[in-house]
Amino acid sequence: MVKYPSKRAEYQRQYRQENLERIRKREQTYYQKNIEKILAYKRKNYKRTLEIGTNWRKNNPEKVKAAQKRYRQTHQEALQKKEKERVKKNPEKTWARKAIQHKKELGFSVLFTTQELTALALLHQPCRYCGKKLDYSPFKGRVIDVTPSLDRINNNTGILTLNDIQIICYKCNLKKSDQTHSEFLEYCKNVIQRCGPQ
């Protein structure tokens, strides 16, 4: 029986620290010798192990946050490089993720996924109003006229569905502002009637 569990744990920790290399070597040899057995065990208990991990993360949100923060700090450069590669490989997906995030920050309920919006972006349709080709590549975070932007066609609710959105150019969206599609067309007609060629 263990009389002083805390002291025992402390002793074990110390022992491990002092003999780290020897222990590691022993573990490595054991692993190499029994690799088939270990892999079979892992395969068999795959679901249970996942569950234990999920439960632990659920019960220790603070520790998870701290670990994530530590990871981000120690792997800053690698993470930035990875993000750059991801953007380069799939600019439409990055755009979709950011566009949804932006709408959510503005308080909208978004009823479609990044994947669904990416699929829409990948059709590469030109802007509905001016007909210009949209450019999904990020200009170091800058917005240009043909930067795609997510427009609510009828602007009347706080809920965004796939049926009520369209991807148009930033310039047109700026002009359409919070008008509905038909209000915007009406506005354009007025301008043409007043100023168009006679």
Binding to Zn ion (CB under 5 A): which residues in 152-181?
169, 172
Write out the binding residues for Zn ion, residues 54-83 only, by CB under 5 A: none
Q: DSSP strand E in 94-171: where?
A: 109-110, 148-152, 159-160, 165-169
**Span interacting with Zn ion, options 43-51, 91-99, 124-132, 134-142, rule CB under 5 A:** 124-132
Backbone angles phi, psi at 106, to 5 degrees: -80, -5
Instruction: Confirm or reject binding of residue 150 to Zn ion (CB under 5 A).
Output: no
Q: Is 134 in the site for Zn ion (CB under 5 A)?
A: no
Q: Which of 16, 27, 148, 24 is nearest to 91 (CA)?
A: 148
Closer CB to Zn ion, 96 or 129, in the complex: 129
Give dist(CA 135, CA 122) in Å, integer: 11
Q: What are phi and psi of 32, to 5 degrees?
A: -65, -40
Take residue 41 and report the two structure tokens written for it.
Answer: 């065990």
Contact status: 130 vs Zn ion (CB under 5 A): yes
Q: How far is the CB of 47 from Zn ion (least distance, A)?
A: 50
Tell me whether residue 96 or residue 146 sits nearer to Zn ion (CB atom).
146
Per CB under 5 A, does 129 bind Zn ion? yes
**Min. distance of Cβ 180 from Zn ion in angstroms?**
17
Counting other chains too, the contacts that 141-145 makes at CB distance below 8 Å and 24 or more residues apart are: 143/170, 144/170, 145/169, 145/170, 145/171
The rounded distance, in Å, linking the Cα atoms of 198 and 194 is 9
Nearest CB to Zn ion, comparing residues 126 and 138? 126
Could you say whether residue 127 binds Zn ion (CB under 5 A)?
A: yes
Shortest CB 169 distance to Zn ion, Å: 3
117 versus 134: smaller Cβ distance to Zn ion: 134
The residue among 110 and 169 lying less far from Zn ion, judged by its C-beta, is 169
Separation of alpha carbons 51 and 182, rounded Å: 52
* Site residues (vs Zn ion, CB under 5 A): 127, 129-130, 169, 172
